[in-house]
Amino acid sequence: MSRTSILSCEEVTVAFDGFKAVQGMSLSLDPGELRFLIGPNGAGKTTMLDVICGKVKPVSGSVSFHSRAGVVDITKRKEHKIAELGIGRKFQTPSIFAGLSVMENLEIAMSQNRSVWATLRASLTARERERIDEELALIGLGDHRHTRAGLLSHGQKQWLEIGMMLMQEPEILLLDEPVAGMTDRETDKTGELLQEIVKRRTVVVVEHDMEFVRNFASKVTVMHEGRLLKDGTMDEIQRDDRVAEVYLGKRRDAHAVG
């Protein structure tokens, strides 16, 4: 692994009842990169995210996280410990408190150690207030701080959930299809948000929306049948015959990938 990697997965294999969902997959991330993980259905993309956040343990291979606290062997840690160490995972369905305001949701995310009601009763310190304001501005919900989360649009709910994850100060953020169901405008805003987030953190996005990937990716990793097919720039990926074949069945049309 390169000296500068923040995360390095080497030769990872995952089996479910003998079926190898991931086979000898390697993936290395530099700090501050926005990496897209693409591939046809069943390629093993979500399973790789599950490995990185500790939800699934590989049968072989290694996953090293160069965290602020030192190097951690992810395969030997429990999921909640990995989250505490700085790897945050957002699943497809939002897990926000629909009956609470945007700001209250962020307050709760900030103080995971306290109960919901204790958090809402406690008054915020000036620093905490500032922190929430920063996050509200980042996720574009400054004008909605008092809006009930359940009333937000689909895109806004996703941004709120991303904001809630950011309150935990993760070093690596893992996102599974963050723009699914979003309008074009929301999709673009999400891309801009991710580009802002990677100024301070590393982000991995599993994605099927190829236009979104083309617009915002610098580096892309393609998986197929549990293995690494190719990684490179979007241009390199689009020019690759094997990638075209996997997506299109022989026909080579770079702009139609996905």
**CA 23, 173, 36 angle in degrees (round to 5)?**
55
At closest approach, how far in Å is the CB of 14 from ligand ATP?
Answer: 8
20 vs 214, beta carbon nearer ligand ATP: 20
- Output 109 or 220, the one with its CB closest to ligand ATP: 220
Nearer to ligand ATP, 34 or 43 (CB): 43
From the list 83, 73, 22, 25, the residue with the least C-alpha distance to 225 is 22
The distance of closest approach from Cβ of residue 204 to ligand ATP in the complex, given in angstroms and rounded to an integer, is: 13
| 3-state SS class at 79 | helix
Query: What's the CA gap between 9 and 188, in Å, rounded?
Result: 30
- Binding positions for ligand ATP, rule: CB under 6 A: 16, 19, 21, 39, 41-47
> Locate tokens 């999709």: which residue?
187
Quote the tokens at residue 62: 């290694």
Rounded least distance, CB 47 to ligand ATP, Å? 3
Is the CB of residue 172 less than 8 Å from the CB of residue 114? no
Closest to 165 (Cα-Cα) out of 100, 86, 49? 86
Residue 244 CB, nearest distance to ligand ATP (Å)?
18
- Nearest CA-CA partner of 48 in 82, 25, 28, 78: 25
From the CB of 175, what's the least distance to ligand ATP, in Å?
13
Complex with ligand ATP: residue 107 or 231, whichever CB lies closer: 231
How many CB atoms lie under 10 A from the CB of residue 70?
A: 8
- Using the minimum distance from each CB to ligand ATP, give the nearer residue, 139 or 229: 229
Nearer to ligand ATP, 133 or 245 (CB): 245
Residue closer to ligand ATP, measured from CB, 44 or 140: 44
In the complex, what is the shortest distance from the CB of residue 132 to ligand ATP, in angstroms, rounded to a whole number?
A: 33
CA distances from 90 to 17, 46, 177, 206 (A): 26, 11, 9, 11
Half-sphere exposure of 72 (CA within 13 A, CB side): 24
Q: Nearest approach, Cβ of 205 to ligand ATP (angstroms)? A: 12
Residues belonging to the chain: 258
